[in-house]
Structure 1
Amino acid sequence: MAVARTRSVALVGVKGRSVEVEADVGNGLAGIHLIGLPDTALSEARERVRSAMVNSHYPWPDARITVSLFPASLPKRGSQFDLAIAIAILGAAGVVPADRVAEPFFLGELGLDGRLRPVRGVLPSVLGAAEHGDVTVVIPAANSAEAALVPDVKVAPFADLRQLVEWLRRGDDPPELYIHDIPEPQPSTIQPTVDLSDVAGQPVARRALEICAAGGHNIWMLGPPGTGKTLLAERLPTLLPDLELDHALEVTAIHSVAGILPASSPMLSRPPFVSPHHTATAAAIVGGGSTAIRPGAVSLAHRGVLFMDEAPEFPRHILDSLRQPLETGRVTVSRSSGSVTFPARFMLVLAANPCPCAQPQDQGENCQCSPTMRRRYLARLSGPLLDRIDMKVTVARTSRRELMADRQFVEPSKTVAQRVLAARERAAKRLAGTAWRTNAEIPSAALHADYRPSEAAMKCMTTALDAGTLSARGLDRVLRVAWTLTDLAGKSHPEYAETSTALALWLGVNT
């Protein structure tokens, strides 16, 4: 009887958990048995591994083969365990030295001809392996660029099983061994196809978008069709700076797990923009799945923008499911197989028409909706959700004369983005030494302790609190926007002008 051990990685959400793969080749009825909570895709590894070994000209043991995946209580899903299972069997059969396969991590799906096929989630898997110190991770060659983003890890890319086995037999260095630090995400050189200068006649909305980008705030735009709500939302990413290194790794890991990471870009350097359709399910928005739990739109928009066009058309329970991630910056998905927590810190942009028929009431067009219908339509956006929106802007239709007059004041995205970057740098300097990067991340306790404005500046907010038009949560939102206005103005502390403007934006009073 011979036993060989090696290691692989199981993904739990966007975290990699080490899995020990043991293979026992002993006496008994010939066959292969997988134990350790494998799913259907993993159970099918028996046939893939057998065909890959035979077609790579290695003997298949004519014995009872037992493969154990430890810890047995951890569910294992996917085909990324194929390579580790094959190597463990080859080690137990004496084809490769058992001591050579004990330390490395093996990730990859096997083709029937022995080729190593790429798998999703390589970046978080390698990050999980890196927690065990100085390790070597063997991966398919197609995943090498993504895996090489992790520092202090020896990444060994191979194209097929035979090439890998011969290396294990020889004991020399693998081909094209990657040992280097994380590459800095390069500033985006791709010119955006949209620009803020495309939107004319909405100076208040453009200013609100700049504030939103500078502080990482949420915004709700209300207005009839054709006023530029969607145009404005699509241009918000052009105002945002490139992702910092740790944020870029977070975003890349999420997209890698979801299987939508572009092959030409192993690291995402730009904030993502996600715009789900109003027919999307709750699982598509917050994450879920019947077998493997996948990240939803709120996680795919992490460190970027989640745009929900025609927001009242979304089911109310889906809109209310946004309340938790808006408050905590993460979302927990619970299923019978367990619970998974995904990061979900995004800027929410809502757009809505004033009523179902969407006809304006101020330019001679007759709205077909009764006051009750309009109230019921907008009531789909619940009070607790709107309480978490930092700015509410009314986007009205403009005349030809207003459009022509506003064109001389329209600025390109590049100009506005420079002011946004300067404001973010001021905020980062003020928040140095803390875990927060933007004003939207400052918790309530710190807002009322270290970052509380003067009593004179707070007067408008205390009056609104006394009148009942401002909630305690709304007060925190107003304070965060006031600090962003302060950073954009280049001041050291919010004054009455900033706090009153922030309050007007929260109440939905265009200024």
Structure 2
Amino acid sequence: MLIKVYGSAVFGVEATNITVEVNVDSGIGYHLVGLPDNAIKESSFRIQAALKNNGYKLPGKKITINMAPADLRKEGSAYDLTLALGILTASSQIKAPNISEYIIMGELSLDGSLQPIKGALPIAIKALEDGFKGFILPKQNAKEASIVDGLEVYGVENITEVIDFFDKGQTLEQTIINTREEFYKNLEHPKFDFSEVKGQESIKRCMEIAAAGGHNIIMIGPPGSGKTMLAKRLPSILPPMTLHEALETTKIHSVIGNVKEETGLMANRPFRSPHHTISDVALVGGGAYPQPGEISLSHNGVLFLDELPEFKRSVLEVMRQPLEDREVTISRAKFTVTYPSSFMLVASMNPSPGGYFNDPDAPVTSSPAEMQRYLSKISGPLLDRIDIHIEVTPVPFDKLSEERKGESSAEIRARVTEAREKQAERFKDIEHIHYNAQMDVKQIRMFCELDESSKTLLKTAMEKLNLSARAYDRILKVARTIADIENQDNITSSHISEAIQYRSLDRDGWLG
């Protein structure tokens, strides 16, 4: 008897539905075809034990299973439940006339209980698109999948619940959540707050500009000056995620099984801080079976690279294209996957190997040659792609010992959100552009017009600092953001002047 059951495979952040054809015929043998990986090939042992421990059996006949499309590689243990239901139905141990209306996924334990799967959200989205009535999956993933409106989602704990649902008509508890209500309920207050930062008013101003325009930023300063402390507080002043951004972000984290069971929908912007020993594949994504890397997991959030020169140069260089295109494309012989990677890059570094630069009172000093060698680990093209370079100086004792608290993150976030709303209105008719950092050359020429005094000032700076064309565009973008924060329609020379100050590494005495 031939039966068709439906599962799904995830490639990149999109799902493809898989037809599992199970044929039980006279003879002996278990044949699984359709490019399954080792985890799927081993499923027969898990299925046999799970069925036996729940009063069923693997039939002693010839079982042929085809996972179509047969030329597409399938991986993971999430097909256990799909295969088990197909075998039971094809061997007439249960009746399931409506089994083809559902996507069924789940990893089986030997006692028949179900383990969570990866990629529940993209699978649910694809199931709805292809007209399936419902999605049966492990209970741990039910909230995540039920974000998709219009699809019946049933979270189950044991294979017997699924068997009784199809064979005996017993009801399963449908998981229903109000997506908008769930989203706003999970908007938490950030763990870190800018009110805890003593002094550093100029750096806070930089952080506000970076957050308002989505600009990449690098902080250069000696150890203990507060670079990491400031970076960790950046997400607290970013505007709250929109529902669309939350769905996009959840989808990426779902692929690697990184969504918490109790929330379902990610409501807070991601903050990723990989160690400097990270490989280029772990950073941008890839591998034999491609997975999203840190830059994609930072999508709609912040990627913080602490001690930037300590990262391998090859690792930093692979970021150049994603920083421009805001997506990563990974190509293999038989397929290509694209991961979104629209993130804010925040980097920090010491100015020299010893941590101090041109400071006669410093406990450790470095020679000019050592300092140049240290800074040369970061390429000019990568620095060009970072809009704001700012020096962070140590906080003096009188500031550290102040009892008065600084401006809170909530106050700064209000100004940032207002500036972002102004940008959203400006770019409402332009697809994929939402804030100033995303502007390309065409939009820069359209929205960053300069008066004569501003042009003269920028020309002088370009000639003196020997800035590249890309640095020119970065200055205009930052100036546009400064004008937005001050609620001004036109860029003035004061905005240009401030933006030029945020190109520290282009000045003499840094990179030569």
Deviation at 1:42, TM superposition (A): 1.1
Whole-Å separation in 2 of the counterparts to 1:25 and 1:134: 25
User: SS state of the match for residue 101, structure 2?
Assistant: coil
Asked whether 1:393 is paired with 2:390, we answer yes
The aligned amino acid for 1:164 is V
1:303 alignment partner in structure 2: 300
Using the TM superposition, give the Cα deviation of residue 459 of structure 1 relative to its aligned residue in structure 2, in angstroms. 3.6
1:239 equivalenced with 2:251 (yes/no)? no
| Counterparts of 1:350 and 1:344, CA distance in 2 | 16
1:225-236 matched pairs, under 5 angstroms: 225-236=223-234
Q: Secondary structure at the match of 1:448?
A: helix
1:205 aligned residue: 203
Q: Distance in 1 between matches of 2:6 and 2:186?
A: 37
- What code does the residue aligned with 2:302 have? V
Which whole-Å CA distance do the structure 2 matches of 1:19 and 1:189 have between them?
36
Give the 3-state SS of the residue equivalent to 1:102 in structure 2: helix
Q: Is the contact made by 1:288 and 1:294 (CA closer than 8 Å) also made in structure 2? A: yes
Aligned residue pair count: 505
Match of 2:317 in 1: 320
- Choose the corresponding residue for 1:58, options 38, 56, 59: 56
Following superposition, the deviation at residue 14 of structure 1 comes to: 1.4
Distance 1:192 1:179, change over 3 A: closer
Using the TM superposition, name which of 8-17 and 409-418 deviates more. Answer: 409-418
Residue in 2 that maps onto 1:419? 415
SS in 2 for 1:386: helix
State the TM-score, normalizing by the size of structure 2.
0.93
The residue aligned with 1:447 is 444
| SS of match in other structure, 1:84 | helix
Amino acid at match of 1:416: I
Task: State the distance in 1 between where 2:300 and 2:187 align.
Answer: 20
Give the secondary-structure state (helix, strand or coil) at the position aligned to 2:100. coil
Contact 2:355 2:364 in 1 (8 A): yes
Q: CA deviation at 1:481?
A: 1.3
Code of the aligned partner of 1:434: I
d(CA) in 1 for partners of 2:177, 2:429: 28
2:368 counterpart of 1:375: no
- Please name the residue that 1:257 is paired with: 255
Letter in 2 for 1:320: E
The question of whether the paired residues in 1 share the 8 Å contact of 2:187 and 2:268 is answered with no
Structure 2 counterpart of 1:353, from 350, 354, 359: 350
Please, which moves more after superposition, 409-418 or 384-393? 409-418
How far did residue 337 of structure 1 move?
Answer: 6.6
Task: Flag structure 2 segments of 5+ consecutive residues without an equivalent.
Answer: 508-512
**Shift in Å, 1:179:** 5.5
Matched residues in 2 for 1:114 and 1:367: separation?
63
Separation (CA, whole Å) in 2 of partners of 1:469 and 1:475: 10
CA deviation profile, 1:435-461 (whole Å, cap 9, x unmatched): 322111122222213554445544433
**Alignment check: 8 A CA contact 2:448 2:477 kept:** no
1:91 is displaced (CA, Å) by: 2.2
Q: 1:389 to 1:164 in 2, by over 3 A?
A: same
CA distance in 2 between counterparts of 1:507 and 1:224 reads: 15
Q: Are residues 244 and 300 of structure 1, via their aligned partners in 2, closer, same or farther at CA, if it must alter by over 3 Å?
A: same
Deviation at 1:434, TM superposition (A): 2.5
Following the alignment from structure 1 to structure 2, what is the Cα–Cα distance between the partners of residues 308 and 171? 54
| Residue in structure 2 matched with residue 362 of structure 1 by the alignment | 359
Residue among 427, 432, 435 paired with 1:431: 427
Report the counterpart of residue 101 of structure 2 in structure 1. 103
Q: Please tell me whether the aligned partners of residues 11 and 125 of structure 1 are also in contact (alpha carbons under 8 angstroms).
A: yes
> How big is the shift at 1:180?
6.2
Unaligned runs of 5+ in 1: none
CA distance in 1, matches of 2:428, 2:389: 30
Which shifted more, 143-152 or 333-342?
Answer: 333-342
Question: 1:24 matched to which residue of 2?
Answer: 23
- 2:510 alignment partner in structure 1: none
Counterpart-to-counterpart distance in 2, 1:59 and 1:313: 57
Match of 2:339 among 338, 342, 352: 342
SS of residue in 2 equivalent to 1:211 = helix
% identical aligned pairs: 38
With normalisation by structure 1, the TM-score equals 0.93
Per the TM alignment, residue 499 of structure 1 is displaced from its structure 2 partner at its CA by 2.2
Equivalent residue number for residue 39 of structure 1: 37
Structure 1 Cα separation of the partners of residues 392 and 466 of structure 2? 22
Q: Which runs of 4+ in 1 moved over 6 A?
A: none
Residues 188 and 242, structure 1, Cα contact 8 Å, conserved in 2: no
Instruction: Return 2-11 or 133-142, whichever deviates more.
Output: 133-142
Letter in 1 for 2:339: F
Q: Deviations over 1:368-406 (max 9, x none)?
A: 42111100101111000000000000112243245568x
Aligned partners of 1:453 and 1:409: how far apart in 2? 38
Partner of 1:135: 133
Can you list the C-alpha shifts for 1:272-295, whole angstroms capped at 9, x where unaligned? 1111111112222112334x3222
Q: Distance in 2 between matches of 1:373 and 1:360?
A: 11
CA positional deviation for 1:189: 5.5
Q: Deviations over 1:342-368 (max 9, x none)?
A: 111111111110111113533522544
Which secondary structure does the structure 2 equivalent of 1:163 belong to?
Answer: helix
Q: Counterpart of 2:490? A: 493
On the 8 A contact 1:152/1:180 being kept in 2, the answer is no
1:152–1:188 CA distance, 2 compared to 1 (3 A): closer
Secondary structure of the corresponding residue to residue 356 of structure 1: coil
2:221 corresponds to which residue?
A: 223
Distance 1:354 1:325 in 2: 26
Tell me which residue corresponds to 1:9.
8
CA RMSD of aligned residues (A): 2.2
After TM superposition, give the deviation of residue 177 of structure 1 in Å.
2.0
Alpha-carbon distance in 2 for matches of 1:180, 1:134: 19
2 CA distance for matches of 1:480 and 1:34?
56
CA 1:189–1:244: 2 relative to 1, 3 Å: closer
Moved more, 361-370 or 411-420: 361-370
Q: Please give the alpha-carbon distance, in whole angstroms, between the structure 1 residues aligned to 2:159 and 2:94.
A: 12
**The residue matched to 1:350 in structure 2 has which SS?**
strand
| 8 Å CA contact retained: 2:89, 2:95 | yes
Mapped to 2, the partners of 1:78 and 1:229 lie a distance apart of: 41
